[in-house]
Amino acid sequence: MVIRAAERGDLEDIHYCENSSFDLPWSYAMLYDDIIENENTVYLVVEKEGRIIGYGGMWIIFDEAHITNVCILPAYRGRGYAYALMRELNRAAKERGADAMSLEVRVSNRAALKLYKKCGFSIHGIRKRYYSNNGEDAYVMWTERGPGLEAL
């Protein structure tokens, strides 16, 4: 497994991962804008035997990192790839001066909740009807400032 910075040539594979994993996927144009055009983002891809099997991204806003997406193709889930990706996102956030991380996650996504708790995130709030496709709520999760980023 290799985790590396996403590149323009990875966009088709990232879009495929996105569409294979989410009920409300980002469009190709949204991914392009965020990954290529936005200077305040970090996107990483996970490669297995030369194939992109997942990706993750975050916005760096002053001293905080906000996770936008973490995605592993269904056939590769449950093997530690998402945890390894979260470790690398954490490292990249610290390198860029972030001392806390946040994200939103569907309240029904038990696997993601388990992963994020393992990575040092805890629930700090709820966004009612956050997801537009079905009105599902989202938990707002944060790591603690400073030492919270050391959980990984």
- Contact between 87 and 68 under an 8 Å Cβ cutoff? The reply is no
Cβ-based neighbours of 35, under 8 Å, separated by 6 or more? 6, 8, 11, 14, 41, 43, 57
User: Catalytic residues, which ones?
Assistant: 104, 116
CA pair distance 64, 85, nearest whole angstrom: 18
Q: How far is CA 117 from CA 62, 70, 75, 122, 139, in A?
A: 24, 14, 23, 6, 12
- Contact between 47 and 75 under an 8 Å Cβ cutoff? The reply is no
What are the tokens at 63?
């001293």
